[in-house]
Structure 1
Amino acid sequence: METTPRQFDLVRAKETFGQLVRFGIAGGLATLCYAAVYSPLAATKLTSEQVANIFGYLVAVLVGFWLHSRWSFRGHGASATKTGPRFFAVSLLSYGANTFWVWLLTDDAVMAGPWWWPLIPILFVTPLVTFSLNRLWVFK
């Protein structure tokens, strides 16, 4: 039986959807790790929001690489030696985006909001960008 272009597109769409679901779960876990580190540091004023952001990022990038390379995009791309530097580059973009959200939304910056405001775009905007970059460039 021959595979038609439409069947191929359907298989590809299912594969992408499965990766998106796995990415959402793994990314959600990494983001929860980020929030578990960022929130107590920022909420108690133990440190500034930006320093808390750095610590949260470091934990999340380690958890994220481990989960995404072994589960989210398993079998999708190259080895960890090839994907590691690309993943780190995307994670730096992610860190930059999250740093922007913290700068824009917290009481030390532009909008003078509470410590938790940056968690909203960090949970809902940054992951969409990083999924696209991971899918199209890192684990291609």
Structure 2
Amino acid sequence: MMASGVFGQLIRFGIAGGITTGLYTLVYSPLAAFKITSEQVANICGYLVAMLSGYLLHSKWSFRGHGAEATKTSWRFFLVSLVSYGLNTAFVWLLTDDAMLAGPWWWPLIPILFVTPLVTFALNRIWVFG
């Protein structure tokens, strides 16, 4: 793991992903907590901020020098971000929707903070910037 550079990428991805996830949380939380909009609309707003900041951080820093050219990474990153959005949407729906678990607005943040980043790291490492 050390020789292949995966460990350094994982550390950088963790920092950049933490920043990106923090931005998502800063957008999602007040919108959902204060009922400014529905949890799903708050999720879309958080996703858009996270996707744009994530592409910049991950392409310029997390996976820098990993070998893929920008023309390949842009559309692939967007597809992975749609996977991320799909996961987050499923978590929000499952955990907050009245037809499902009807939990509080913050429940989805738990899998969003711990599951989604692992999935996106693997996809970004192997397919987007690989």
Under a length normalisation based on structure 2, what TM-score does the superposition of the two structures give?
A: 0.96
Q: Where does residue 109 of structure 2 map in the other structure?
A: 119
| Preserved CA contact (<8 Å) 1:107 1:114 | no
Q: Which runs of 4+ in 1 moved over 6 A?
A: none
Deviation at 1:107, TM superposition (A): 4.5
Matched, 1:30 2:17: no
| Structure 1, gaps ≥5 residues long | 1-8
**Within-5 A mapping of 1:1-140:** 11-12=3-4, 15-140=5-130
Under a length normalisation based on structure 1, what TM-score does the superposition of the two structures give?
A: 0.90
Q: Cα deviations across residues 112-134 of structure 1 (Å, max 9, x unaligned)? A: 11000000000000100000000
Partner Cα separation in structure 1 for residue 43 and residue 70 of structure 2: 26
**What is the identity, as a one-letter code, of the residue corresponding to 1:41?**
L
Structure whose alpha-carbon radius of gyration is higher: 1
Q: Cα deviations across residues 72-97 of structure 1 (Å, max 9, x unaligned)? A: 00000222221000000000000000
Two-structure CA RMSD over aligned residues (Å):
1.1
Change (3 A) 1:28 1:10: closer
The percent identity for this pair of structures is 74
Residue 36 of structure 1 aligns to a residue in which SS?
Answer: helix
Change (3 A) 1:109 1:30: farther
| Preserved CA contact (<8 Å) 1:26 1:68 | yes
Q: Where does residue 6 of structure 1 map in the other structure?
A: none
Residue 11 of structure 1 aligns to a residue in which SS?
Answer: coil
